[in-house]
A and B are shown apart, each in its own frame.
Chain A
Amino acid sequence: MSEQTLLKVTVDNITIEVPAGTTVLQAARQIGGAVAPPAMCYYSKLQGSGGKCRTCLVEVSKGSEKDPRPMPKLVASCRTTVMDGMEVKNITSEKVIDARAGVVEFLLLNHPLDCPICDQAGECHLQDLSFEHGKSSTRYEFQRRTFKKHDIGKHIQLHMTRCILCYRCVFVADQLTNKRAHGILDRGDHAEIATHIEKSLDNEFIGNVIDVCPVGALTDKTFRFKNRVWFLKPMDAHRNCPTCSGRVTLWNRGDEVFRVTARKDEWGEIEDTPEGKPGWICNTCRFDKKHAADWIIQGPREISRHSVIAQGHYAGNIGTTLPTEIFNAVNEGRSPHLLMDIHNESEVNLPSVHLSEIEGPSHGTTFNNNINKPNK
């Protein structure tokens, strides 16, 4: 069959045609912008990933053209395939927004929030997620679970305390390396990623677990505590590597190469090579080639969404493909995405606050104490 049947799917009132077998999440990503649900565990390049973190839950308000009944529960958009005529509500559904806020709270329960000393800060998906969908405080008042740090292999450190158990690294080891040496031990909230009896991971492609980790649980020991990602300049580069594609992003400061990562697209996933294969890189490229002379520089890296470096430079299509009337209505005026978020969160901007009525110099606590906050 040369001609593929296209199915119509509507996400947040925007209709798009996609080939059969596409997931709701992929369809929403094709629309882009705020319509795409966040995903912490799903990784399109890893078979079988997804469905676990529950951040991508969406409401299916119409099953399909044939069977228009809505689905009874929220579904994980990353694992639900599109049916013809399906109507999906993401940010237009209050149920979804409520459930997602709940999931973010759950994910942060046992997360240490040690962002100030975490190497992932600035490109952490959990940071983005909690900023966009979470609440500013937690209701959890008990001790968080902690683990000792483990060195798994020469170059990778595992800090289980930060882990959100997305299973991505397990899938990487399963699908990229010939002999998986790590997995999940125990179950429930005491489950942990571990190698059995402190074995080290030494496969040539195991370094990719660092790239797929959405949080700072797996970090590059050659880069740990060396620099903040937002002080570094990402440059596309390549080398003639016998084992991998050799297409990487160098993170430079001046001429010094601080770290090497695979190239990531706007969803934080590994970019495909021109041949259409996922651009995983080998440990040699990642850990050993730390001189500018090792690489042929191609030019500055296009800014990815999931990085603080993207601030103000992100070239994605937020706000461009969305019908404005809907967007404004559902987003409570969050049209300029980031700025309005800050505006909404800041108490200084509450319409009920009259600056002239506050006595003395004012700061955050003054506002909190002196004003009657309207129910937000």
Chain B
Amino acid sequence: MGVKLLLEKANVPGIRTYDVYRREGGYVTAEKALKEMTIEAIVEEVKKSGLRGRGGAGFPAGMKWSFIAKPEGVPRHLVCNADESEPGTFKDRYLMEFLPHLLIEGLLISSFALGSNDTYIYIRGEYAWVATILEEAIEEATKNGFLGNNILGTGFDCRIHVHRGAGAYICGEETALIESLEGKRGNPRIKPPFPAIQGVWMRPTVVNNVETLAAIVPIIKMGGEEYAKIGIGRSTGTKLISACGNINKPGVYEIDMTISVEDFIYSDEYCGGIANGKKLKACIPGGSSVPILPANLLLKTAKGETRYMNYESLSDGGFATGSMMGSGGFIVLDEDQCIVKNTLTLARFYRHESCGQCSPCREGTGWMEKIIQKIELGKGEISDIDLLWDIQRKIEGNTICPLGDAAAWPVAAAIRHFRDEFEWHINNRELSQTSNFGLQHYADPIHVPA
């Protein structure tokens, strides 16, 4: 049984309400932080904890906080990024739906540390009922004196506003989120200036993921050093993983990052093995934008070491033989899944969600989708694979925001590891429409195009 910090109380009946949450020891940490700790001490604890952003990029949260500019007379803002739109990721929804007060407590402590009197939760529009839950929780917290003016007699004011997005993946990118929050079209801004200098309404802003902000509560409760002892290396603390796909027990799991990928998939405590007695074919370990890995590279790194569920181990081998922790959307594919079709689904998603601002992403994502669709329909040519490779290479790194990279990586990884399946699709036009490539690739050596 692993350590549970966030979801410890998730199964307590009625934990969604203030009364039960308070009875279970809620808001004690907030009282401690606001009454007994200085702003610097809180930031120092977060830095010590080594907490890394849980939204996908894994940037150290404490460092992000220390970047925020503090000009005289200009308000600062904390924005909670609840626009969880990465396919395969649903951990934040779980957290907000069942433990709204944990997020609010985390937000309160973080707002205090950052000096944000108006804190925003930008939630995706599709989470309509979650937004209502959050609003109810905010109301309860306000009634009990944990939000509003002069909180706990400390003189600190904090209001939390819930802002509903209109359903755009791109608004999960922090600068697009800021634009959208301001009421504009959700186009990512060109950086610099970074949000820590000029964010919402040109004021210094910190944008953090839901899980990151919720993790502030256990960090302050147990102290940064204690928190850093959980986990391994630079992957400290616990991480929520939303597992889905062809597994026996899909769901949100809290892991302490020392567990191996094999254990995570096959142990009964977590995913419970591949559904219907099938074999594992591939896995996208961190949300749809991270590179897909074939089974042999997922369980063991290229050096033959066991792969663990943490930031370093998952990215071991770079993009050639590794992947990324990402947002923790763990998508498992069994032997019946077609990689070409899977890649097509992802390419279609990114084509649909590209904001259309910069040309490589706007045009390239659509082009890639069309080519993969052609291959999927059995009309492809061998040269199309090289063309795809060239297109993704020209998108990656040449765009304003990371959506271009996110669109390029899945395609690159699919070709890198499953080129033979693409070729099989092209060479067996009729067969590929009725049957599946299956596991022929399973034990193959790694393909790395020159």
A interface residue numbers (CB < 8 A to B)? 50-55, 57, 73-74, 76, 79, 98-99, 102-103, 105-107, 109-110, 139-140, 142, 164-165, 167, 183-184, 186-191
Contact = CB atoms under 8 A, between A and B. Distances in A.
Given A140-B367, A188-B365, A102 B352 contact: no
5 contacts: A107-B363, A109-B363, A142-B370, A165-B356, A188-B353
Contact of A103 (B170, B351, B355, B360): B360
A164 B364 CA distance: 13
Contacts of B355: 187-188, 191
B359 A54 contact: yes
B362 A189 contact: yes
Given A102-B360, A189-B351, A183 B185 contact: yes
Contacts of B399: 54
B356 A109 contact: no
B168 interface: yes
Contacts of A191: 355-356, 362
B364 to A, nearest CB: 6
B400 A51 contact: yes
A52 B185 CA distance: 15
B406 to A, nearest CB: 14
B279 interface: no
Given A57-B398, A106-B394, A52 B358 contact: yes
Interface of B: 168, 170, 185, 190, 351-360, 362-367, 370, 387, 394, 397-400
Contacts of B354: 187-189
A174 to B, nearest CB: 11
B189 to A, nearest CB: 9
A51 B188 CA distance: 11
Given A99-B398, A142-B370, A76 B190 contact: yes
Contacts of B353: 187-188
A52 B354 CA distance: 13
Contacts of A186: 356
Contact of A110 (B358, B363, B394, B397): B363
Contacts of B357: 52, 165, 167
B356 A139 contact: no
Given A54-B398, A183-B185, A103 B359 contact: yes
B53 to A, nearest CB: 19
Secondary structure dominating the interface of B = helix
B426 to A, nearest CB: 15
B363 A184 contact: no
Nearest to B400: A51
B398 A188 contact: no
A50 B357 CA distance: 10
B394 A189 contact: no
Given A106-B359, A165-B356, A186-B356, 15 more contacts: A52-B400, A54-B399, A73-B398, A74-B398, A98-B394, A106-B363, A106-B367, A106-B394, A164-B359, A188-B351, A188-B352, A189-B354, A189-B362, A189-B365, A190-B356
B397 A189 contact: no
Contacts of A98: 394
A165 B362 CA distance: 10
Contacts of A76: 190, 400
Contacts of B365: 188-189
Closest CB pairs A-B (n = 9) = A102-B394, A191-B356, A106-B363, A188-B354, A51-B190, A189-B366, A109-B363, A188-B356, A73-B397
A79 B356 CA distance: 18
A142 B363 CA distance: 12
Nearest to A79: B190
A51 B358 contact: yes
Contacts of B185: 183-184
A53 B354 CA distance: 14
A99 B404 CA distance: 14
A135 to B, nearest CB: 12
A142 B400 CA distance: 26
Contacts of A55: 359
A139 B387 contact: yes
Nearest to B371: A142
Contact of A188 (B360, B362, B370, B387): B362
A28 B314 CA distance: 42
A86 to B, nearest CB: 14
A54 B190 contact: no
Contacts of A57: 398
A184 B367 CA distance: 21
Nearest to A104: B359
Most B CB contacts (10 A, CB to CB) among A51, A57, A74, A187 go to A187
A195 to B, nearest CB: 15
A359 to B, nearest CB: 32
A118 B295 CA distance: 54
Given A110-B363, A189-B366, A184 B356 contact: yes
Nearest to A74: B398
B360 A106 contact: yes
Contacts of A188: 351-356, 362, 365-366
Contacts of B362: 106, 165, 188-189, 191
